[in-house]
Chain A
Amino acid sequence: METENSIDLNYLGRIGQYFIYLCKQFRMFIFQNDWKVLPMSAVIAAMVAIAVGKGLFVSMEGTFQATFALTCVCIWNGFFNSIQAICKERAIIKREHRAGLHITSYVLAHMTYQLFLCVLQSVITIVVLGLFKVKYPVTGVFAPFAFEFFITLFLITYAADMMALMISAIVKTPMAAMTVMPFMLIIQLVFSGFIQLPEKLADLSRLMLSKWGVQGLCAISGYNHLPAVMIWNKMTNAGDKISVGGGVSVKDIMNLIEENNMRDQILDKLGEANQRADFASTIDNLFQSWGFLIWFIIVFSIITVVFLEFVDKDQR
């Protein structure tokens, strides 16, 4: 069979190749057991719901802990989805690149497929939290809460997914990828802002998608309008052991407050005193969080393409 080789345009372009690889990805979803990430995300969401679901959207401290835990879940899901996606077939990509594969088509197909996984994982997480009777607020910052919650969870998961895809394009072997992954995960957790950082290191957290994830989730949760209950709970535990002046215990004072129906008022005041500007339920805060996450997605994708363009340089 004689083929015309003189005109480059005769061969399948980027869009055509994109669809070939997208179909291939979905075939792999069935044949390569990629579907396993979906039940896994349900199990992880269930564990988080059991551990911190009770305090979510109820108190400041509970919400802060739970949003951090949810951010960790999203990052874990995203990392796990694609950390080996490219490096495990690097030699195959090299062969196909030499045969005419456009790297942009290949990466875009991966991005689309990973988007599909991340959407499903975000929906699963929301449904599982609901099954565990987590009480969702009705309204978010500018739209229904469920919508904003989904978008935020999705963006965190997808940004983490793209970061893992980038790592997978940079390293040469799955073993190297799996070595780097926990290291990246711990950096995300340490610099998320959940742990109080020294002043000089605090700015580093702006480079972490975990920081923007927590900010987005806290903003839509109405964090600043929630009561702060931790001090009250701790004082309740220690009430009998501490006495003021001539033998009046802290517990007596707290009982007096409760008898006068002032408990909720005090907890609200405590909440007001501990509000954080970056967690305020404003469009600016939410869009800043989403904006940074989208920015990360774009940057990671570009880096993935750039690194993968050099796949031909791989040694045997």
Chain B
Amino acid sequence: MPESSETVTVIASGVQALVLNIGWIMTSIGCFMLFKKDGIKRIYAFIPGVREYHVAIMAEKEEEGRTYFILTVCYYLARYMSFLFENGSLMKTFWLVIAASIGVAEFVYGIRIFKSLCYVFEKSRKWTVLWAFFPSLTSLIWGVSKNFVPNHRTIVDADFDKAAKISKTSVEAIQSGITVNLTERTVTNFGKKYYLLKDIHLSIPTGHMVLLLGGSGAGKTTFLNAVTGYEKADAEIILRGKDLYNNYDSMKYDLGFVPQQDLMRLNDTVYYTLSDAARLRLPKTISTEKRTKRINEVLDKFGLGSVRNSQVGKLSGGQRKRLSIALELISDPTLFILDEPDSGLDGVVARNLFESLRKIADEGKIVIVITHTPDRVIDLFDDVMVLAKDAARTGRLAYYGPINDSYDFFGKKSMEEVLLSINQKDEGGEGRADEFVEKYSEMIS
């Protein structure tokens, strides 16, 4: 009897292994053909983890795909560990429980990805269930059948041939202001190189207030991070005649970046918040009297004197925004950048805020502002910088120059119209980004 029992166990294990292997082969073949339809390298279909990640890419769920990849690798590792121990041993059970737990998480992420895959292939969401429970068979059907075609090709969408040509026109550095010669800004994700920005060359003199305009994903924040040196690019940034990247440790105090959110400790007082910022950002050689004087100056400048002893959390939205700006202005930086400072503020408060920024620019600073409602304050700006996504989905410079000239350049009457003209068609725009990138490139060369 024990012998026949062992035989049954061996046969059962063999059948299980066979089913698993056949399933793996079917999934690989299915994904091989699916990847062909979507322009993804077909070899990835045979690499565990990488295959799942690319299925997520195909489903336009890259972030989930990364987690899915990690979970898949961990699942295989836990399964492998379980094979190292004897059947029925505590450690084998332990690793199987770990594998099962990871499997649950993998299943949930799989559902998210497969649901999105149905959307991309314009198929009923019911297919999600089949993908979740019978991935081998489902991937094979989707791969072989001509009825399953994605509504766009993930890779071909980034069309490098149609993208505007690179101008390679560097600008000469100016002594009084900032000069940006950015060749490219790339990120590498899971072994793949992505171009976020390319070919941006411009100089902004001191005393100028510049509007940074661009659609969603055009690379506005990426550009600002590159200019400030927070995330370095393949670029040369010259501020007041000095290379920012090479002298970052000393020059970072000459930069002021006001983020979109009011990132301050709500339970501290206005005065202490500003005082701590002053001690951090001002040279330590400055006397206490001078530092206190500077704090009081900034408080008065932004109308925060009356609330100096209030907790930050008790301030109104406008006051908080002004305090956030004051934190950066305390060190009197040459380059002052604001990411949507008017978000959440009503028209009058926003107007007052921009008038304060105008005054800062008039004091000989460079002020760069991102805003989604530029037309109500456009008279306060000197120049506009327009970033646009080209056909390869890379952020490019479509225009930089005086506000009034920009209307002629784009043939539009407002900044909102300019924005619409450069936005991609699938974003409701006119999709003329590449045209303007090339036109601007020709204009400056």
Q: Which of A5, A20, A95 contacts B276 (CB 8 A)?
A: A20
1/0 per residue, CB under 8 A from B, across A9-33: the answer is 0111100110010001001100110
Per the 8 Å Cβ criterion, residues 96-129 of A in contact with B are 96, 98-101
Is B354 on the interface with A (CB-CB < 8 A)?
A: no
Q: Which of A1, A8, A11, A91 contacts B261 (CB 8 A)?
A: A91
Tell me how far the C-beta of A224 lies from the nearest C-beta in chain B, rounded to whole angstroms: 31
1/0 per residue, CB under 8 A from B, across A70-97: the answer is 0000000000000000000101101110
Inter-subunit contact B284/A16 (CB<8 Å)? yes
Inter-subunit contact A4/B283 (CB<8 Å)? yes
Q: Which of B162-170, B178-186, B245-253, B417-425 touches A? A: B245-253
Tell me how far the C-beta of B68 lies from the nearest C-beta in chain A, rounded to whole angstroms: 18
Q: Which of B254, B263, B267, B277 contacts A91 (CB 8 A)?
A: B263
Tell me how far the C-beta of A27 lies from the nearest C-beta in chain B, rounded to whole angstroms: 6
* Cα of A100 to Cα of B253 in the assembled complex, Å: 7
Per the 8 Å Cβ criterion, residues 254-304 of A in contact with B are none
Is B259 on the interface with A (CB-CB < 8 A)?
A: yes
Chain B residues with Cβ under 8 A from A100's Cβ? 252-253, 280-281
Is B279 on the interface with A (CB-CB < 8 A)?
A: yes
Chain B interface residue number, banded: 35 or more
Inter-subunit contact B251/A5 (CB<8 Å)? yes
Chain A residues with Cβ under 8 A from B281's Cβ? 11, 99-100
Inter-subunit contact B284/A10 (CB<8 Å)? yes
Inter-subunit contact A8/B250 (CB<8 Å)? yes
Q: Which of A6, A12, A98 contacts B279 (CB 8 A)?
A: A12
Per the 8 Å Cβ criterion, residues 361-385 of B in contact with A are none
- Which residue of B91, B249, B283 has the most chain A CB atoms within 10 A of its CB atom? B283
Q: Which of B252, B254, B276, B277 contacts A98 (CB 8 A)?
A: B252
Chain A residues with Cβ under 8 A from B247's Cβ? 6
Is A247 on the interface with B (CB-CB < 8 A)?
A: no
Given known pairs A27-B272, A28-B267, A92-B264, the reply for A200 and B91 (CB within 8 Å) is yes
Inter-subunit contact B257/A98 (CB<8 Å)? yes
Is A179 on the interface with B (CB-CB < 8 A)?
A: no
Give me the interface of A with B, judged by CB distance under 8 Å.
1-8, 10-13, 16-17, 20, 24, 27-28, 31-32, 89, 91-92, 94-96, 98-101, 198, 200, 312, 316
Give me the interface of B with A, judged by CB distance under 8 Å.
90-91, 221, 228, 230-231, 247, 249-254, 257, 259, 261, 263-265, 267-268, 272, 276-277, 279-286, 294, 311, 328, 331-332
A-B contact pairs, 23 of them (CB 8 A): A2-B332, A3-B253, A3-B254, A3-B283, A3-B331, A4-B285, A6-B250, A8-B249, A8-B250, A10-B285, A11-B283, A16-B284, A24-B268, A27-B272, A28-B265, A94-B263, A95-B259, A99-B277, A100-B252, A100-B253, A100-B280, A100-B281, A312-B231
